[in-house]
């Protein structure tokens, strides 16, 4: 006499298991049919995703590039502020962005650099 096992599942677990079995059967049937080699390759890649490993060297290089980009942006904003101060002209976020050759959103994001400047006009 063979031994029988019983698995107790919640309704949610049972539904998920049914979906998984149905999906697996569908994929097996698709792979058995006559498909183009490109399509079979694509399905195989979907079944066995490749793990992407990002090296420490690449992460450090990305951090360095990001930091450099932020510093360049901050320098552009500061140079534009200095230009307005030198000319004793009032400025807005828009005029600062245009002078610094940056987007309005970028300058607004870094508003803490100039919000206390007496030449800065908030509402214009």
The answer to whether position 124 is within a domain reads no
Name the residue with higher pLDDT: 24 or 55: 55
d(CA 25, CA 34): 16
The answer to whether position 118 is within a domain reads no
Q: Are residues 37 and 62 both part of a single domain?
A: no
Q: Are residues 104 and 66 both part of a single domain?
A: yes
d(CA 79, CA 81): 5
In sequence order, the 6+-apart residues with CB closer than 8 A to the CB of 35 are: 43
Query: What average pLDDT does the structure give for the chain?
Result: 84
The answer to whether position 5 is within a domain reads no
Name the residue with higher pLDDT: 17 or 59: 59
Q: Are residues 32 and 65 both part of a single domain?
A: no
Dump pLDDT digits (tens) for 75-108.
999 999 999 999 999 999 999 999 999 999 999 9
d(CA 63, CA 122): 33
Q: Are residues 62 and 106 both part of a single domain?
A: yes
d(CA 72, CA 67): 9
Q: Are residues 38 and 70 both part of a single domain?
A: no
Q: Are residues 69 and 90 both part of a single domain?
A: yes
The answer to whether position 83 is within a domain reads yes
The answer to whether position 70 is within a domain reads yes
Show the tokens assigned to 105: 């959103």
At residue 28, the pLDDT reads: 72
> How many domains are contained in the chain?
2
Phi, psi dihedrals of residue 91, rounded to the nearest 5°: -145, 155
Helix %, strand %, coil % of the chain (to 5): 65, 0, 35
Q: Are residues 42 and 63 both part of a single domain?
A: no
The answer to whether position 42 is within a domain reads yes
Full residue range of the structural domain in which residue 39 is found: 11-47
């Amino acid at each position: 006499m063979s031994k029988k096992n019983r698995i107790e599942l919640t309704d949610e677990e049972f539904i998920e298991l049914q979906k998984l079995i149905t999906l697996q059967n569908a994929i097996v049937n698709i792979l058995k049919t006559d498909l183009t080699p490109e399509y079979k390759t694509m399905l195989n890649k979907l079944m066995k995703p490749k793990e992407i490993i990002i090296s420490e060297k690449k992460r450090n290089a990305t951090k360095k590039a990001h930091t450099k980009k932020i510093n360049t942006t901050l320098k552009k904003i500061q140079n534009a502020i200095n230009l307005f101060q030198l000319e004793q002209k009032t400025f807005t976020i828009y005029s600062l962005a245009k002078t610094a050759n940056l987007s309005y959103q970028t300058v607004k994001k870094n508003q803490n650099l100039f919000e206390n400047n007496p030449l800065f006009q908030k509402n214009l």
